[in-house]
A and B are shown apart, each in its own frame.
Chain A
Amino acid sequence: MKAQIWVLGLALALIAGSAQATREEEGRRIALEMDRVESGYGDYRASVEMTLRDRKGRESRRYMRFLTKETHGDGDKSIVVFKQPRDIKGVTALTYSHKTDPDDQWLYLPKLRRVKRISSANQSGPFVGSEFAYEDIGSQEPEKYTYRYLDQGVHEDNPCHLIERFPVNPDSGYSKQVVWVEVERMIPWRIDYYDRKGELLKTLKNSGYQLYQQRFWRPDRKEMVNYQAGKSTLIEYSDYAFSTNLSDQDLSVSALKRSR
């Protein structure tokens, strides 16, 4: 009995002493689990409608097509083809994301038929004038952050883990993000973004989760509200198709010129 109390005491002391480490490990465990649940789709295609709303409520729309292919042991390869506004119709971006190295990025300008390698250092810049930064749109590799378990919470009746994540990339526009991950399905419902000064900048809310291929949960809508700018952007997905046999050739620099 005495020995058991000793062991318990020791265990408690260890837990107290390593609480910090445990919180980090727990945060990372949840992030990896979220990534595991999200991965394994091979490839997917989707159509995207983006609605940009300014401070006065004026709206403008963008239409684009997303193609994404998973790569073994590295980040995703993805293509975004712009459909509207029409002055940028056919402009296509190709990204090879990497777990820790900077991403490789090319842009295709259809009028000149020119493919340009561009800098991927612009992580914090706005994507097509929206409230989504390039780093919000890009592939969310778990290695791009360090983690800390924060708390438990409820998002619209869904019990969630709240984890903090801290960008590894010094070009990131954020000091931290708080991700609300549903306990049951390990899917993200909400992300709060804090700017470099540590002030709350934006909130992303996902909604309308649908199940694809009996395995992959994807939201129909993502809405980003920028508190500091008073603007918001709504992304609506449609025509999701998984395992469409996209090849590496389809996501190559040369394939950009096909301008779908």
Chain B
Amino acid sequence: MLFSRPIAGIEWDGLLSVSPQYRWFLEAPLDSDQSGSHPSLVVRAEIQGEWNNDADMVHFIPFWRLDGADENRTHGDIRTASWTHIGEGWETVVGISKVFWGVTESQHLVDIVNQTDLVENPDAEEKLGQPMLNLTLFRSWGTLDLLLLGKFRERTFPGREGRLRPAIPVEERLSVVDRHALNADFAMRWSQHIGDWDLAMSHFSGTSREPNLVATETSSGDPVLQPIYPLINQSGLELQVTKAEWLWKLEAIHRHGGGQDHTASVFGFEYTRFGVFDSASDLGLIAEYNYDNRGEDSATGLGDDLFLAVRWRANDVADTQLLVGSMLGLDSDGDFFILEGSGRVGDNSRLSVDGRFFVHSAKDDAFFDLRKDSFLQIGIAFYF
């Protein structure tokens, strides 16, 4: 708690985190322009104010990264700057905000409202703030979200000096963005839970968050990839059935537009054994199958891939946890392994170790360009 006190009738609360990180790349880069191992620093603040008996709230979350190698990765963003009002049976959010949709672990297929801040993490979990007007209605038949999305945010890509990028770098200055006449996107989602079932259906109409990357040249003749963001319509389905230690999950999308129709899904389970090894710790097994009818050409590279992971939680005072997993390409010879571990150090900091290891990359595989980019990252977040 940076501070927590009422000022002018508003209850303020804050949090600041400062996280130095270091990434070791295990091999020399593919392209001599690309950097080697290097440090990075992330600063993130959160300020929240509540008034009117908690019926009104403001949130402000600025974010900033200073990267030791890639100028594209050195960037700042307003993750959130919004006002929330809670009425009887409805809520509104106005401003820059973030919305998450989905249930699965290996990829977030249905999640489309916010653009991916890809330079942050190749797992695409970090998102850019999105200007929006969000109305939520609470009814007996479920929860309905209606969203009007303003300014389009382009995806961030590693620069020429950055790692974890295509062999030909993406040139963001050449990007082409197709917009609706109103310069806005529309989205809606219905969600409901009935006993063990959590179900949601969504629809999005607007500019695709996922660009098509087209090979071209700059005016000086350098080969680059040009991001083209087409207008699309995308329908999504999310389902989770929770049966004691078993979580059964499904996400599926159908996308129309951008020159082709496509269907993709991810489904599987998470099974957890509680209190293993005669201790308080839990051991979970995650298995998810990723399908995309575009195959290896899909932007995610997950056309026919099986994700297998083991998650361990110590349930100790330090909240120690570890996830070791692999994404196995079934249709092509390309696998990668992931490692995510963290634990609290002292009262208010958290140490984390992350890794991604690309192995057996064949030429036809979507991750072929990343074959020299295996890395191990260590970071510590200090909270104030």
Contacts and interface: CB of A to CB of B under 8 A. Distances in A.
Interface of A: 52, 54, 60-61, 83-90, 102, 104, 112-119, 121-122, 124-126, 128-129, 171, 173, 247, 249, 252-254, 258-260
A129 B319 contact: yes
A254 B91 contact: yes
B143 A252 contact: yes
A129 B318 CA distance: 8
A124 B275 contact: yes
Contacts of B57: 258
B247 interface: yes
A87 B383 contact: yes
A117 B247 contact: yes
Nearest to A124: B275
B15 A89 contact: yes
A172 B246 CA distance: 17
B72 interface: no
Contact of A86 (B1, B54, B100): B1
A118 B344 CA distance: 22
B282 interface: yes
Given A85-B348, A117-B198, A129 B247 contact: no
B107 to A, nearest CB: 13
B244 to A, nearest CB: 4
Contacts of A60: 317, 347
B272 A129 contact: no
Given A113-B100, A122-B282, A129-B316, A84 B1 contact: yes
Nearest to B90: A249
A260 B54 CA distance: 9
Interface residues of B, number: 50
Closest 7 CB pairs of A and B: A86-B383, A87-B350, A129-B317, A121-B244, A122-B274, A113-B100, A114-B100
Among A52, A115, A117, A253, chain B packs the most CB atoms within 10 A around the CB of: A117
Contacts of B198: 117
A125 B272 CA distance: 12
B242 A86 contact: no
A253 B315 contact: no
B138 interface: yes
B84 interface: yes
Contacts of B222: none
Given A119-B247, A121-B245, 5 more contacts: A86-B1, A114-B100, A121-B244, A125-B280, A258-B84
B240 interface: yes
B349 A113 contact: no
Nearest to A123: B274
Given A102-B244, A117-B198, A258-B57, A88 B138 contact: no
B3 interface: no
A125 B282 contact: yes
Contacts of A112: 100, 125
Given A114-B100, A119-B247, A253-B193, A125 B315 contact: yes
Contacts of A52: 317
Given A249-B138, A254-B136, A119 B319 contact: no
B138 A252 contact: yes
Given A87-B348, A119-B244, A129 B315 contact: yes
A252 B282 CA distance: 27
B99 interface: yes
Given A125-B274, A125-B275, A260-B50, A61 B244 contact: no
A117 B240 contact: yes
A254 B319 contact: no
Contacts of A258: 57, 84, 86
Interface string B85-121: 0101101000000111011000000000000000000
A60 to B, nearest CB: 6
Interface string B33-48: 0000000000000101
B152 to A, nearest CB: 20
Contacts of B280: 125-126
A126 B384 CA distance: 26
A118 B319 CA distance: 17
16 contacts: A84-B1, A84-B347, A85-B344, A86-B348, A87-B383, A104-B195, A113-B98, A117-B103, A119-B242, A119-B247, A121-B274, A122-B282, A125-B275, A129-B316, A249-B86, A253-B193
B164 interface: no
A252 B50 CA distance: 19
